[in-house]
Amino acid sequence: MTEGKLIVALLIIIRLGHPKIQEGAEPVSSEEVRSREIQRLIDDMVETMRDAHGVGIAAPQVHVSKQIIVIEVSPENPRYPNHPAVPLLVLLNPTITDHAETTEAGWEGCLSVPDLRGLVPRWTRLSVSGLDRRGQAVRLDAEGFFARVLQHEVDHLHGRVFLDRLPDLKTLTHLREYELFWKS
């Protein structure tokens, strides 16, 4: 047997309408975190996010009702270009512990709501606590686009998509029309 990374697999991303998208997810127990299944799931989620050019993905989007999110932002991401880089973040059982009172509207899409963008208000700054993939407690502060992605992914763990946060359905636009008329 050679040591090294397991072969990773691309997972099927479920879309709005699949009941699991609107179900909540269970926390991952501290015994479970280091299991082969969860570690493999995390690797596969990272690969699936990257393949789909996502900036984040939550376990319910790949059929798993567990509180796991992964986030990675690159300024070269074709779906969300020119945002400050966020190195790969794996977070289990994330809880928003604190947030700014101010919100800012920004364009969001979702791998489970393909081909749409909407203008969603999110808190500009927040603190999150949870576990890393080794089961260690972590706490982090985020602002701007990173804070937005965190709120979007944490919402998935509670059965919410960005459409649930849209104050005005008139901002909902297909991607092509977004590129043509709204992209700044």
153 catalytic, yes or no? yes
Burial of 75: CB neighbours in 10 Å, binned 0-12, 13-18, 19+: exposed
Q: Which of 104, 108, 153, 177 is catalytic?
A: 153
User: What is the rounded CA–CA span in Å between residue 121 and residue 104?
Assistant: 5
Residues that contact Ni ion, how many (by CB under 5 A): 1
Q: Which stretch binds Ni ion (CB under 5 A): 6-14, 91-99, 110-118, 126-134?
A: 110-118
The Cα 66–Cα 91 span in angstroms is 11
Q: Yes or no: say if 149 and 86 are a contact pair by the CB < 8 Å rule.
A: yes
Taking the complex as a whole, the smallest distance from the CB of residue 69 to Ni ion amounts, in Å, to 10
**Residue with smaller CB distance to Ni ion, 62 or 110:** 110
Which range, of 15-23, 39-47, 106-114, 163-171, touches Ni ion by CB under 5 A?
Answer: 106-114
| Residue 164 buriedness (CB in 10 A; 0-12 / 13-18 / 19+) | exposed
Nearest-CB residue for Ni ion? 110
Which of 22-30, 109-117, 126-134, 143-151 is the region at the interface with Ni ion (rule: CB under 5 A)?
109-117
Q: Does 110 bind Ni ion (CB under 5 A)?
A: yes
Catalytically annotated residues = 153
